[in-house]
Amino acid sequence: MATNAIHDVSSLPFTKPSDVSSHVVRETVLSPRFYTTDFAALDAIDVSSVWDEWDALMREMEADPNRDHFKRQTSFEGAIEELPDALRAEFTEFLVTAMTSEFSGCILYAEIARRTKNPQLRRLMRLLARDESRHAGIINDSLKDAGLGIDLGFLTRAKKYHYFSPKFILYGTYLSEKIGYARYITVFRHLQRHPEHKFHPLFDWFGEWCNDEFRHGEAIALLIRADPSLTRGINRWWIRFFLIAVYTTMYVRDHTRPALHEGLGCDVETFDYDVFRLTSEISRQCLPLEFDTDSAGFRRGMEAMQRAADRMVAARRRGGIAGRLSRWRGILEVGLAFARLFFQPTRSLALPDHVRLQPIW
């Protein structure tokens, strides 16, 4: 459960663009980051073993079904300013984090497209960068209407870049895209059933947005399945790591936004575990194992992670020697909680003959 300290909206004083800029530059455990990789290794990717599914997906993305979708509407005007204080603060923080994440993906994909010599990888990365740029742009439009929009190019100059190996890029982007789809479609379906909780018009864009995220994940799934070594041996342990990293990041972050979930009319625990189940169901297309996210051990591990994260937030606000000591204790507790989750039992899965799925959820 979120603590009162985390619920304190004074920690999110977004009143001008410089506040947003400072927030996205600040490096924390949960901040979206910018990545670089071994571009020569990416050149070796060969999609010939999945060519039929690959080419069909590329042609679908090249047709650009959402070309006219992500356009600002006048309904954005005043929508953020009219929200209650706590909801406004948490929704704004959600938008800033989502915008940074989308734009960091855009930068990575565009850089791979520019530097790779692999024509099929270049083909895909240009399409991914196009979509992510649109997503970041529509979020920034929402912030601009509240006087909080920023120059997205600023992010490329201000954020630090971190090296990730190509296989880590594939695992990380696949799970980010698929859990992104699971999150957005869960919100979208919920608001279809409960339109009285649609407090901002941006939620109207989530349907097509979901489909973009889904197609992106499909493409990365095909890249993973094109190299059988990525789902065997020691790489199964890396898959465990990325699953836990994605799930815990989402869980902890969502628990810092109680007013946002209350505004949406949904329980944060129920929402997160619904998203975990859907992500597991989808990822069976290319991942050889899954966690039982409904097991008592898994849930206890998530709760321990949340308590440790709360301790770190409280310690940072306390400051001084006592705050530093409490923060180090929180870091140790985070590590122990992560380790316990990492070693939770998993179910082994037989990978299907055909990779591609349809967004039927």
Task: List pLDDT tens digits, range 193-220.
Answer: 999 999 998 898 888 888 899 999 999 9
Return the exposure string of 15-46: e unless at least 16 CB atoms fall within 10 Å of the residue's CB, then b.
Answer: eebeebbebbeeeeeebbebbebebeebbebe
Per DSSP, 63 falls in state: T
56-70 pLDDT tens trace: 999 999 999 888 777
pTM exceeding 0.75: yes
For residue 33, the model assigns a pLDDT of 55
80 in Cβ contact with 142 (< 8 Å): yes
What is the rounded distance in angstroms from the CA atom of residue 116 to the CA atom of residue 337?
39
Per DSSP, 350 falls in state: P
What is the rounded distance in angstroms from the CA atom of residue 42 to the CA atom of residue 166?
6
88-99 pLDDT tens trace: 999 988 988 888
What is the rounded distance in angstroms from the CA atom of residue 236 to the CA atom of residue 181?
23
143 in Cβ contact with 99 (< 8 Å): yes
Q: What single string gives the DSSP state of each residue in 270-299?
A: HHHHHHHHHHHHHHTTT-SEEE-TTSHHHH
Question: Per-residue confidence of the chain (361 residues) as pLDDT tens digits?
Answer: 333 333 333 344 455 544 444 444 443 333 445 667 788 888 999 999 999 999 999 999 999 988 877 777 777 788 888 899 999 999 988 988 888 888 888 888 888 898 899 999 999 999 999 999 988 888 888 888 777 767 666 666 655 667 778 899 999 999 999 999 999 999 999 999 999 999 998 898 888 888 899 999 999 999 999 999 999 999 999 999 999 999 999 999 999 999 999 999 999 999 999 999 999 999 999 999 999 999 999 999 999 999 998 888 888 888 788 778 877 888 888 999 999 999 999 999 999 999 999 888 8
Alpha helix positions (H), the chain: 4-7, 17-25, 39-43, 51-62, 85-115, 119-144, 153-158, 166-193, 206-225, 235-254, 258-264, 268-283, 296-318, 320-342
